[in-house]
């Protein structure tokens, strides 16, 4: 029996309440979250400036010793450079740039000579496009004052945080959702197993775990993959062989991205049922901009949900 998926007459009011709930959180906490990230990022920028002698040394040797500074160097230019724009301008290997920025290392398959040549081209583009108004000491060739470095680092940090605003807010909101879920469960006698490494269907009754990987089969059982589940909860009065409730925390600050991502949950459910049978119970934990189009799609796929502004609906799922 559905809890919310079949209550179409309530969807419009719930969407409005959910949007208000999200907006209230955003106005109160997003600025603080952003400021905290900017302070942390400013320290990272200052470290990158120190490593490059305040941008006077962007040599292959420096880039090899600190590959993770490349995203920062993309933000010191005028205009700031997207990753693919830098790859195109420098005519370098996409694998090199992505390996430096995502993995924090140089790709092992490239020879030392090839790496030096590629990094030299990257350095050349960064030097040519460096924002001279932001780093005036490059033109004057004088040692910059500490205040000038601090000001430049703050501006570059703002550029970096601006490029990362959506992920920063999304990650903070997801963690807040999980914290709210944790409080709700613990108030009702559930125990959080922070270090649980076992199988999801072997959780003891009255326990829960966050961000657990569940192995599923794909392609007619030709291969297995792990899919992450935000929360796995075994009911207090679970019967023998009962599967836990799987909860996927979803938040959104606009309607556009939710409809782009709505197929993700349906794919997860299909893989889970294909691997563990029709007894799989999967629900969404929603907060924010989820319109009737999104809800209708999920309901048609047999997926139910709980709104964060009405968490007590979890009781109707056996918790």
End position of a domain, from candidates 122, 138, 165:
165
Average pLDDT over residues 38-53: 93
Whether 247 and 263 share a structural domain: yes
Got the DSSP string for 161-188?
Answer: HHHTHHHHHHHHHHHHHHHHHHHHHHTT
Asked, for residue 2, whether it belongs to a domain, the answer is no
pLDDT in the model for residue 69: 95
The backbone region for 248, taken as left when phi is positive above 0, alpha when psi lies in -120 to 50, beta otherwise, is: beta
Structurally, the chain folds into a number of domains equal to: 2
End position of a domain, from candidates 118, 136, 165:
165
Whether 159 and 179 share a structural domain: no
Asked, for residue 1, whether it belongs to a domain, the answer is no
pLDDT in the model for residue 71: 94
pLDDT in the model for residue 274: 86
Confidence category of residue 240, pLDDT binned at 50, 70, 90 = confident
Whether 23 and 92 share a structural domain: no
End position of a domain, from candidates 165, 196, 223:
165
pLDDT in the model for residue 219: 61
| Residue 258 confidence (pLDDT) above 80 | no
Whether 296 and 193 share a structural domain: yes
Residues 280-294: pLDDT tens digits?
999 999 999 999 989
Asked, for residue 114, whether it belongs to a domain, the answer is yes
Confidence category of residue 222, pLDDT binned at 50, 70, 90 = low
Question: Which residues of the chain form beta strands (DSSP E)?
Answer: 191-192, 207-218, 223-234, 245-252, 281-288, 304-307
Residues 104-142: pLDDT tens digits?
999 888 888 999 999 999 999 999 999 998 999 999 889
More confident residue, 228 or 171: 228
The backbone region for 302, taken as left when phi is positive above 0, alpha when psi lies in -120 to 50, beta otherwise, is: left
Asked, for residue 209, whether it belongs to a domain, the answer is yes
Is there a contact between 251 and 289 (Cβ–Cβ < 8 Å)? no
| Residue 201 confidence (pLDDT) above 80 | yes
Whether 131 and 269 share a structural domain: no
Range of the domain at 132: 34-165
Average pLDDT over residues 10-24: 93
Euclidean distance between CA atoms 72 and 90, whole angstroms: 16
Asked, for residue 3, whether it belongs to a domain, the answer is no
Confidence category of residue 167, pLDDT binned at 50, 70, 90 = confident
CATH number at residue 259: 3.40.1350
């Amino acid at each position: 029996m559905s809890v919310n998926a079949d209550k179409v007459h309530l969807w419009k009011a719930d969407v409005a309440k959910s949007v208000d709930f999200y907006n209230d959180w955003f106005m109160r906490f997003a600025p603080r979250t952003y400021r905290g990230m900017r302070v942390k990022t400013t320290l990272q920028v200052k470290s990158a400036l120190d490593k490059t002698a305040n941008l006077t040394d962007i040599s292959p040797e420096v880039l090899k010793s600190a590959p993770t500074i490349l995203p920062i160097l993309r933000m010191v230019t005028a205009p700031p450079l997207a990753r693919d724009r830098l790859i195109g301008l420098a005519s370098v290997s996409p694998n090199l740039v992505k390996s430096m920025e995502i993995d924090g290392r140089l790709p092992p398959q490239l020879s030392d000579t090839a790496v030096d040549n590629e990094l030299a081209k990257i350095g050349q583009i960064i030097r040519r496009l460096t924002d001279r108004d932001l780093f005036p000491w490059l033109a004057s060739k004088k040692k910059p004052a500490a205040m000038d470095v601090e000001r430049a680092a703050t501006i570059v940090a703002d550029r970096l945080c601006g490029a990362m605003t959506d992920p920063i807010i999304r990650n903070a909101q997801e963690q807040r959702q999980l914290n709210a879920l944790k409080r709700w469960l613990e108030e009702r006698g559930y125990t959080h197993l922070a270090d649980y490494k076992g199988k999801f269907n072997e959780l003891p009754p009255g326990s829960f775990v966050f961000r657990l990987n569940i192995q599923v089969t794909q392609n007619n059982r030709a291969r297995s993959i792990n899919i992450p589940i935000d929360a796995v909860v075994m009911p207090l009065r679970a019967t023998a062989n009962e599967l836990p409730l799987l909860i996927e925390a979803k938040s959104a600050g606009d309607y556009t991205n939710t409809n782009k991502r709505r197929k993700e949950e349906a794919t997860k459910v299909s893989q889970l049922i294909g691997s563990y049978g029709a007894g799989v119970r999967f629900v969404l934990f929603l907060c924010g901009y989820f319109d009737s189009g999104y809800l209708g799609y999920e309901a048609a796929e047999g997926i139910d949900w709980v709104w964060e502004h009405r968490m007590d609906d979890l009781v109707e799922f056996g918790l």
